[in-house]
């Protein structure tokens, strides 16, 4: 019964909170509209959700979030230093092909999103057979180090979380 009424309760809650943050005013009308949106949007999109991903270790999820947040902070300073102190001729942009062993679509999506969220790198293409991901780096003298860093810091943890 709950599954038919609220197919994705966490999404419903997030939608209500985001709506209230967007309107920036908590009134009974805004709460009611947020609840209506929080119920309707998940019901309308439910056919497009094949299933919930299986998360093997919740503590690993928390660890992964802290690693990513730390990497984002550090990368912000690195990118700022590159932009402020390097001449254009000294910036070595690179394309790096990162072979991946992940098989879960959710894990691959999180990996690609993590790479893109980290300043200085963008995941641009996934191979048709999902065996590798193409990453653009703002500056790197050693593309193999970038590849190894992505595999060690992100892919290894995602394998522990999803597979």
Q: Is residue 135 domain-resident?
A: yes
Q: Are residues 97 and 120 in the same domain?
A: yes
Q: Are residues 83 and 153 in the same domain?
A: yes
Q: Are residues 32 and 69 in the same domain?
A: no
Task: Give the pLDDT of residue 30.
Answer: 93
Full residue range of the structural domain in which residue 104 is found: 58-162
Q: How many percent of the chain have pLDDT more than 90?
A: 69
State how far the Cα of 78 lies from the Cα of 72, in Å rounded to an integer: 10
Read off the tokens for 88. 């254009």
Task: Give the pLDDT of residue 129.
Answer: 94
Asked if 76 contacts 119 with a C-beta cutoff of 8 angstroms, the reply is: yes
State how far the Cα of 120 lies from the Cα of 52, in Å rounded to an integer: 31
Q: Are residues 39 and 119 in the same domain?
A: no
Alpha helices in the chain (DSSP H): 2-5, 9-23, 28-45, 58-85, 105-117, 143-150, 156-162
What's the whole-model pTM score?
0.76
Measured torsion, CA atoms of residues 145, 150, 151, 157, in degrees rounded to the nearest 10: 140
Q: Is residue 53 domain-resident?
A: no
Q: Is residue 130 domain-resident?
A: yes
Q: Are residues 89 and 29 in the same domain?
A: no
Q: Are residues 13 and 64 in the same domain?
A: no
Task: Give the pLDDT of residue 3.
Answer: 62
Across residues 46-64, what is the average pLDDT? 84
Q: Are residues 108 and 42 in the same domain?
A: no
For the chain, how many structural domains are there in total? 2
Across residues 111-120, what is the average pLDDT? 95
Q: Are residues 32 and 84 in the same domain?
A: no
Measured CA to CA in angstroms, residue 156 lies from 108, 124, 134, 160, 162 at distances of 12, 20, 18, 7, 10
């Amino acid at each position: 019964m709950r599954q038919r009424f609220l197919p994705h309760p966490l999404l419903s809650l997030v939608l209500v909170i985001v709506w209230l943050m967007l309107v920036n005013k908590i009134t009974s009308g805004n709460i009611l509209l947020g609840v209506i949106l929080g119920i309707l949007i998940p019901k309308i999109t439910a056919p497009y959700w094949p299933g919930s991903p299986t998360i093997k270790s919740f503590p690993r999820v928390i660890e992964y979030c802290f690693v990513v947040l730390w990497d984002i902070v550090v990368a912000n300073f690195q990118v700022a230093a590159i932009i402020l102190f390097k001449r254009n001729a000294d910036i070595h942009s690179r394309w790096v092909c990162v072979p991946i062993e992940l098989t879960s679509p959710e894990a691959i999506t999180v990996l690609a999103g993590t790479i893109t969220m980290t300043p200085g790198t963008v995941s641009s293409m996934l191979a048709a057979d999902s065996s590798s991901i193409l990453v653009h780096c703002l500056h790197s003298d050693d593309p193999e180090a970038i590849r190894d860093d992505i595999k060690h810091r992100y892919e290894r943890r995602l394998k522990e979380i999803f597979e």
